Amino acid sequence: MPIRTHVPIRLPELEKSKLSMTFNELVRLLERNGLSVVKEKGSIRYYGKPGIDRLIRLDYHGSREVPTGTCHAILKAAGLKGGRIDD
């Protein structure tokens, strides 16, 4: 088992069965956890991070709320699903 060099924190929003998060909040969450924009075309952004072998697509819509299923899928693809977020 690898030794963890960071202490994960729990976010209350991720413990709920239904997430309520705007696109702005989701982008901040991704960027705080080491993901960065790899490419962008219009409102579509692709995020990447070393250790994740595929890009994460995010159709950015600012202050609009992210649909629950979309939010779950993005967090799962980013490795952030399950309420444990790296600081």
Q: How far apart are CA 72 and CA 28, in angstroms?
A: 16
Q: What is the pLDDT of residue 82?
A: 59
Whole-number Å distance between alpha carbons of 43 and 27: 13
The amino acid at residue 65 is E
What is the separation of C-alpha 58 from the centre of its chain, rounded to a whole number of angstroms? 9
Give percent above pLDDT 90 in the chain: 54
3-state secondary structure the chain: CCCCCCCCEECHHHHCCCCCCEHHHHHHHHHHCCCEEEEEECCEEEEECCCCCCCEEEECCCCCECCHHHHHHHHHHCCCCCCEECC
Q: Is the pLDDT of residue 12 over 70?
A: no
Q: Is the pLDDT of residue 11 over 90?
A: no
Indicate if the pLDDT at residue 85 is higher than 80. Answer: no
Q: What is the pLDDT of residues 24-77, one digit of tens each?
A: 999 999 999 999 999 999 999 999 998 888 999 999 998 999 999 999 999 999
What is the fold of 9-85?
Metal Transport, Frataxin; Chain A (3.30.920)
Q: What are the residue ranges spanned by the domains of the chain?
A: 9-85
And the tokens for 28? 């901040």
- Would you place residue 20 in the very low, low, confident or very high pLDDT band (cuts 50, 70, 90)? confident
